[in-house]
Amino acid sequence: MHVLEDSAIFATLENVKGNTSGRRQRRAIMRNSFYIFICVLFFAAIYFLHGIIGDLDDSEGQIKVPGGTLRSSSGGSALIEFKVANLNGEPDTHGSFTMKTRPDWSKLGAERVVALTNDGFWDDCRFFRVLNNFMAQWGINGSPEKNKKWKKSIADEGVKQSNKRGTVSFAMAGPGTRSHQLFINYKNNKYLDEQGFAPIGEIVEGMDVVDRLYSGYGEGAPSGKGPNQGKIQMQGNKYLKENFPKLTYIVSAEVK
């Protein structure tokens, strides 16, 4: 009896030792697994952080545009060169001017202008509303289909820069209507700031060429005898060439 009891006690002690050893092993495995998890998490965090820094480096001096990214060398701005013809309404006269987009003034506006340029939207566009000592307006494409493509407006962003001479803003029919028409200010038109016209860029070269855009037709209909915007939208350049042949037009525009 005592022998059996002693044997049972001995067996129990052995089981206890075995269980203790098993617990220690499990604890060691759990501890090691935890250390491994921390190490994996640490290296994953470093890899992720490295990727973010790399993206920031890559995105410096770039503008995000629909369908891709445009690299620029001036802190996110883009330089767009416009080659124009029919200056002062005279055939075979040519010139060029350069616009610098300013995303810090209007991010969405700058992106839209670059996107329009990349799509060739400005090619053969007429400066259909040029008013001396005020502004020069353009941005209705000769193809009605092209205008429909870019009809969707971009959101307003507030006015961060005044409409000074040489600044470029979107023409609007009211809040939330910036789409594809632009104008260049000939003088300081500060009162336009209060109306929500937000400059998105500025002419940095060739303002003397802008001053030679043909202005002889004056204000458009119905208030004047100049080009009717509705007819331009519907009939395109056919209407303008037949009725307003002296208008200055854009030969080409490209991001430099």
Three-state DSSP state, 82: strand
Q: Residue 214 in contact with residue 86, Cβ under 8 Å?
A: yes
Give the residues across from 70 on adjacent strands.
63
- Tell me how far CA of residue 11 lies from CA of 7, 15, 16, 19, in angstroms: 6, 6, 9, 12
**pLDDT band of 91, cuts 50, 70, 90:** very high
Is the predicted pLDDT of residue 5 greater than 80, yes or no? no
Alpha-helical runs (H) found in 60-201 = 107-118, 144-149, 191-194
Residue type present at position 163: N
pLDDT digits (tens, 9 = 90+) for 146-204: 999 999 999 999 999 999 999 999 999 999 999 999 999 999 999 999 999 999 999 99
What's the CATH architecture for 64-255?
A: Beta Barrel (2.40)
Q: Residue 204 in contact with residue 81, Cβ under 8 Å?
A: no
Q: Which of 113-127, 159-173, 223-237 has the lowest mean pLDDT?
A: 223-237
Q: Which of 190, 197, 208, 216 is nearest to 127 (CA)?
A: 216
pLDDT at 104: 97
Where are the chain's structural domains?
A: 1-59, 64-255
**pLDDT band of 40, cuts 50, 70, 90:** low
Only one residue has tokens 């995000």, namely 64
Half-sphere exposure of residue 62: CA atoms within 13 angstroms, side-chain side: 13
Alpha-helical runs (H) found in the chain = 2-59, 107-118, 144-149, 191-194, 207-210, 229-235, 237-243
Read off the DSSP letter of residue 103.
Answer: T
Highest mean pLDDT pick, 34-38, 188-192, 230-234: 188-192
Alpha-carbon span 178 to 155, nearest angstrom: 7
Read off the DSSP letter of residue 153.
Answer: P
Three-state DSSP state, 167: strand
Number of H helices, E strands in the chain: 7, 10
Half-sphere exposure of residue 218: CA atoms within 13 angstroms, side-chain side: 5
Is the predicted pLDDT of residue 107 greater than 70, yes or no? yes
Is the predicted pLDDT of residue 83 greater than 80, yes or no? yes
Q: What is the pTM of this model?
A: 0.71
Alpha-carbon span 178 to 224, nearest angstrom: 24
